């Protein structure tokens, strides 16, 4: 079955963690009294970039800005569909300045950037998944942003309600495996949202809470290779059974801020 999975070349945007730290607490993972090993974080991040490139993907980088410790989480800065960029408006005041350097980068690359009017945290809560965009709400991004995204991209947006604060962004509880399927942790969602996902994706790969808490769902897939936290052992086995090729990448130092592989990765879809 593995040979039937075909990867597609991707273009990713990342940001060097040179200023990464945990200076405030805006999710249950963050503890400012718990020191960050910056040297380890940089090694882990470089490994992720090297692994992407080794698998044939293009990786661009935004220059980090002093005083913005969460800027490394590039996925939150925007969502790009069909070469159109919907920027960010963060809920936390501490993160709002991150929008500017990312917007500047996209404009320098020739993209038009639409600034949302509602709280919108990029691919953290807006996950392009084939025919539609899966959109999380409950902790960060608002339903108003879901409507903006649908109007801007002209793609149906499926609203999903998150209910567990440990999974405060959609990309901590769900990721797209390919154009047709997803992996997710059902209990991160409201009962109605679980029913929606079960209807849309009857063949989805479901994860345990242990896998989700290990940031196993904060993963990136190119349709064949799944770049995944090595701590999500049961999920890794399920993915392999389905014919995907798990590629473990340890970003454990970033877990201290509530982030992982996907949080550090913005996908630019032309």
Q: What angle do CA 11, 135, 129 make, to 5 degrees?
A: 45
Out of 57, 169, 225, 255, the active site residue is 169
How far apart are the C-alpha atoms of 198 and 196, rounded to whole Å?
Answer: 5
**169 assigned to active site:** yes
Q: What angle do CA 13, 248, 98 make, to 5 degrees?
A: 25
- Write out the two tokens for 270: 């032309």
The helix/strand count (H/E) of the chain reads as 7, 15
How far apart are the C-alpha atoms of 158 and 136, rounded to whole Å?
Answer: 8
Residue ranges of the alpha helices (H) in the chain?
38-54, 99-108, 143-153, 191-200, 209-213, 233-241, 252-255
**57 assigned to active site:** no
**Active site amino acids:** 169, 263
């Amino acid at each position: 079955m593995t040979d039937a999975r075909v990867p597609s070349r991707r273009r990713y945007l990342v940001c060097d963690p040179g200023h990464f730290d945990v200076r405030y607490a805006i999710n249950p993972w963050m503890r400012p009294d718990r020191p960050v090993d910056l040297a380890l974080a940089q090694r882990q991040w470089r490994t992720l970039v090297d692994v992407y490139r080794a698998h044939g993907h293009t990786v661009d980088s935004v220059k980090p800005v002093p005083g913005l410790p969460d800027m490394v989480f590039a996925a939150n800065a925007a969502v790009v569909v069909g070469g159109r960029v919907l920027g960010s408006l963060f809920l936390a005041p501490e993160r709002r300045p991150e929008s500017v350097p990312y917007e500047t980068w996209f404009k320098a690359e020739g993209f038009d950037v639409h600034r949302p009017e509602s709280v919108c945290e990029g691919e953290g809560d807006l996950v392009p998944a084939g025919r539609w965009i899966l959109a999380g709400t409950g902790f960060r991004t608002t339903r108003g942003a879901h409507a903006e995204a649908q109007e801007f991209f002209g793609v149906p947006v499926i609203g999903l309600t998150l209910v567990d604060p440990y999974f405060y962004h959609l990309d901590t509880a769900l990721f797209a495996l390919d154009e047709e399927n997803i992996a997710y942790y059902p209990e991160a969602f409201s009962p109605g949202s679980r029913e929606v996902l079960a209807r849309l994706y009857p063949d989805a790969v479901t994860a345990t809470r242990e896998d989700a808490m290990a940031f196993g769902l904060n993963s990136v897939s190119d349709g064949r290779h799944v770049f995944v936290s090595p701590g999500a052992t049961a999920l890794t086995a399920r993915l392999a059974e389905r014919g995907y090729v798990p590629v473990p990448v340890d970003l454990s130092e970033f877990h201290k801020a509530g982030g992982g592989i996907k949080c550090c990765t913005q996908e630019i879809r032309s």
